[in-house]
Chains A and B, each alone.
Chain A
Amino acid sequence: QLQLQESGPGLVKPSETLSLTCTVSGGSTIGSSYYWAWIRQPPGKGLEWIGSIHYTGSTYYNPSLKSRVTISVDTSKNQFSLRLSSVTAADTAVYYCARRIVVTATNNYFDIWGQGTLVTVSS
Chain B
Amino acid sequence: SSELTQDPAVSVALGQTVRITCQGDSLRTYYASWYQQKPGQAPILVIYAKDKRPSGIPDRFSGSSSGNTASLTVTGAQAEDEAEYHCNSRDSSGNYLVFGGGTKLTVL
Binding site for B on A (CB under 8 A): 37, 39, 46-49, 52, 60, 62-63, 96, 100, 103, 105-111, 113-116
* B58 close to chain A: CB less than 8 A: no
Residues from chain A with a CB closer than 8 A to the CB of B48 are: 107, 109, 111
Q: Report the separation of the CA atoms of residues A15 and B48 in the bound assembly, to the nearest whole angstrom.
A: 38
Of A46, A52, A63, which one neighbours B99 at CB under 8 angstroms?
A: A46
B104 to chain A, nearest CB (A): 11
Residues from chain A with a CB closer than 8 A to the CB of B45 are: 109-111
Q: Report the separation of the CA atoms of residues A19 and B102 in the bound assembly, to the nearest whole angstrom.
A: 27
Q: Report the separation of the CA atoms of residues A103 and B88 in the bound assembly, to the nearest whole angstrom.
A: 15
Is the pair B44, A109 in contact by a Cβ cutoff of 8 Å? no
Binding site for A on B (CB under 8 A): 2, 29-31, 33, 35, 41-45, 48-49, 54, 86, 88, 94-102
Is the pair B88, A109 in contact by a Cβ cutoff of 8 Å? yes
Is the pair B86, A49 in contact by a Cβ cutoff of 8 Å? no
Q: Is the interface of B mostly helix, strand, loop or mixed?
A: loop
Q: Given A49-B96, A49-B98, A62-B96, verify A106-B29 contact (CB < 8 Å).
A: yes
Residues from chain A with a CB closer than 8 A to the CB of B95 are: 60
Residues from chain A with a CB closer than 8 A to the CB of B99 are: 39, 46-49
A63 to chain B, nearest CB (A): 7
Is the pair B54, A49 in contact by a Cβ cutoff of 8 Å? no
Residues from chain A with a CB closer than 8 A to the CB of B49 are: 103, 107, 109
Q: Report the separation of the CA atoms of residues A100 and B96 in the bound assembly, to the nearest whole angstrom.
A: 13
Residues from chain A with a CB closer than 8 A to the CB of B31 are: 106-109
B10 to chain A, nearest CB (A): 15
Q: Report the separation of the CA atoms of residues A108 and B88 in the bound assembly, to the nearest whole angstrom.
A: 10
Q: Tell which of B33, B88, B97 has the most Cβ of chain A within 10 Å.
A: B97
